[in-house]
Chains A and B, each alone.
Chain A
Amino acid sequence: MNYLIIGNSSAAIGCVEGIRKIDTTGQITILSDEPYHTYSRPLISYWLEGKVADEKIYYRPEDFYTKNNCNVILGKKAVKIDKSAREVILEDGSAISYDKLLIAAGSRPFVPPMDGLQLVTQKYTFMKYDDAKAVKEVLKPESKVLIIGAGLIGLKAAEGVYKVTKNITVVDLADRILPSILDSEGSSIVQKHLETKGVRFTLNDRVKSFTENTAVLEGGSVLDFDILIIAVGVRPNTEIAGECGIEVSRGIIIDDTCRTSDENIYAAGDCTESLDITTGTQKILALLPNAYIQGEAAGINMAGGSKNYGNAIPMNAIGFFGLHMITAGTYEGETHVIKTDDEYKKLIFKDGLLKGYIMIGEVSRAGIYTSIIREQIPASSVDMEMLVSRPQMMMFGKSRRLEKLGGVNVGN
């Protein structure tokens, strides 16, 4: 069997590890337009901050490709898939054939048209190792940094530059920060925390126009900056799939086994749409765990095994300047809120199920809540008082504990 993988990040690595569980000899080729050994994308802000060294940003050890017997082509872009010939064409015109193909092309930053943006010389997005390197190159203690976008990536970029300069302003159209993962109460807690560190926010506003070093906002204020980081959102890389006739909606459409509408082509990670079981809808879940899990499932299936990626939900663990937050699922339904000086927790129930949670500050053992959502364990089968007070195995009936902790197969 001859496998080809477009991409060299979490979903691609998951695929290699999935294939090798089943097929130890098939030929695997990894193709990426980035020139690096597989690295962890979320670590770029830690790298910029100096918390992760050059030699620690890798996602898998140096001998990964050799150990897994992979042929790796780096720094080259795939421009076309020829489904009938089962070939991928590279930008230099060469072709690579495959029996099974994985598209793990991820996503790219979205840069909306903004007046005068072409006048800004030091403008960056924040998705790739090269982006972080470019920012590091120009970042100085006296730099004024303007970040457009108060989402996960924008705020991680803020944390990334903070060691060098504290002169950071974040602008967002939304009226609160991190709206994709937090409720308004949570947003304001985290915003206050960031503000005590000196990060400034201008919310509910947008840039009307740029000159080389200033941004004029709709609201009238004028912000001076040296370095502009644009982090308003990401878009899935679906073009190569769409152009060859594979079904694409917002993301590439896949089934439970990560197969696309072509039987020899699979897709995984940020470029796909996943079934969010908390809402029953197809969503782009641009998260590393989801990318790995889908990639691994795809690999197993490509190699002739059987695996569903299953139970995907939006979920996130992130921290800023020592404040941790863990969130999962969706937030529509009946809520239980606990708020103390060092903890904010909201649990959301609907249709007799835990559907989502937000935990800020005290986040220990949050994964027990995640498992209740992912496994759709009915709230009626656990001790509600215990569930609400904190994540603990005690809330489950004895039989689940026997099975999970006692290794006893109790059946159902």
Chain B
Amino acid sequence: MKRVYVNEDWCLGCHLCEYYCSFANSGKSDMVKAFNGDKKTTPRIVIEEGDDINFAVQCRHCEEPLCAKGCIAGALTVTNGIVTIDSSRCVGCYTCVLSCPYGCIVTDHEKVVKKCDLCASKSGEPACVKGCPNAAIVFEERG
């Protein structure tokens, strides 16, 4: 299945993917509205920055998704390989935060947790990949 893969040598650490992710998940139709006001949507992708290396981390859509196996509410499920969350069932217990080996479950001030769904409900490539100016994240089929 297609996943988002990182090429850390090309990542500029510009954080544009985070903005595109927030926008895509904000439910808003224009970017200005999405970033105005104090209820900004937390991105489901995180940039890690080092001295000379940067890279993006988001859900790997694991073949053995420990987050879903451990979810106490059955809120995380796998459909066609994509691990998604049903926010109406999440109780914010953070067992998935405890379980995810890559730190891809995102927490913020809200009760429910968030995670990348590869923009499954939208068409085309995930928003982060579309928005990356340097092709440091790509959406591909790899082993």
B74 pairs with A393, CB closer than 8 A: no
6 A-B residue pairs with CB within 8 Å: A289-B69, A317-B96, A364-B107, A365-B97, A401-B55, A405-B6
B103 pairs with A393, CB closer than 8 A: yes
Given contacts A392-B103, A404-B60, contact A43 B94 (CB under 8 A): no
B74 pairs with A404, CB closer than 8 A: no
Whether A288 is near chain B, meaning CB under 8 Å from some CB there, is yes
Tell me which of A107-115, A143-151, A366-374 binds B: A366-374
* Residues in A whose Cβ lies below 8 Å from that of B102: 367-368, 371, 393, 404-405
How many A-B contacts are there with CB distance less than 8 Å? 123
* Residues in B whose Cβ lies below 8 Å from that of A405: 5-6, 8, 55, 57, 60, 102
Whether B70 is near chain A, meaning CB under 8 Å from some CB there, is yes
> Of all chain B residues, which has the CB nearest A39?
B74
Give the contacts of A297-352 with B (CB-CB under 8 A). 315-319, 324, 326, 328
* Residues in B whose Cβ lies below 8 Å from that of A404: 60, 101-102
How many Å lie between the Cα of A404 and that of B91 in the bound state?
28
B48 pairs with A317, CB closer than 8 A: no
How many Å lie between the Cα of A368 and that of B3 in the bound state?
20
Beyond A296-B69, A365-B103, A368-B103, list 10 extra A-B contacts (CB 8 Å). A14-B69, A58-B74, A317-B93, A367-B67, A370-B99, A370-B101, A405-B5, A405-B102, A406-B8, A409-B143
A326 pairs with B57, CB closer than 8 A: no
B103 pairs with A391, CB closer than 8 A: yes
**B3, B67, B89: which has the most chain A beta carbons within 10 Å?**
B89
Whether B88 is near chain A, meaning CB under 8 Å from some CB there, is yes
B57 pairs with A316, CB closer than 8 A: no
A40 pairs with B98, CB closer than 8 A: no
Contact with B103, one of A61, A318, A367, A401 (Cβ below 8 angstroms): A367
Whether A52 is near chain B, meaning CB under 8 Å from some CB there, is yes
Give the contacts of A398-412 with B (CB-CB under 8 A). 398, 401, 404-409
Q: Interface on A for B, CB 8 Å cutoff?
A: 14, 40, 42-43, 46, 51-52, 56, 58-61, 288-289, 292-293, 296, 315-319, 324, 326, 328, 363-368, 370-371, 375, 391-394, 398, 401, 404-409
> Of all chain A residues, which has the CB nearest B101?
A371
Interface residues on B, range: 35 or more
> Of all chain A residues, which has the CB nearest B105?
A367
B48 pairs with A289, CB closer than 8 A: no
Q: Is the interface of B mostly helix, strand, loop or mixed?
A: loop
How many Å lie between the Cα of A326 and that of B92 in the bound state?
12
How many Å lie between the Cα of A318 and that of B103 in the bound state?
17
Given contacts A319-B93, A394-B48, A409-B143, contact A367 B6 (CB under 8 A): no
B98 pairs with A326, CB closer than 8 A: yes
Whether B120 is near chain A, meaning CB under 8 Å from some CB there, is no
How many Å lie between the Cα of A405 and that of B103 in the bound state?
12
A289 pairs with B6, CB closer than 8 A: no
Whether B37 is near chain A, meaning CB under 8 Å from some CB there, is no
Given contacts A401-B55, A405-B60, contact A52 B91 (CB under 8 A): yes
* Residues in B whose Cβ lies below 8 Å from that of A363: 94, 97, 107
B95 pairs with A289, CB closer than 8 A: yes
Whether B100 is near chain A, meaning CB under 8 Å from some CB there, is yes
A316 pairs with B98, CB closer than 8 A: yes
How many Å lie between the Cα of A61 and that of B105 in the bound state?
23
Contact with A along B100-125 (1 / 0, CB 8 A): 11110111000000000000000000
B3 pairs with A293, CB closer than 8 A: no
* Residues in B whose Cβ lies below 8 Å from that of A393: 48, 55, 57, 102-103
A-B pairs, 6 with minimum CB distance: A365-B103, A289-B70, A371-B101, A407-B142, A367-B100, A317-B98
**B73, B106, B143: which has the most chain A beta carbons within 10 Å?**
B73
Contact with B70, one of A52, A292, A392 (Cβ below 8 angstroms): A292
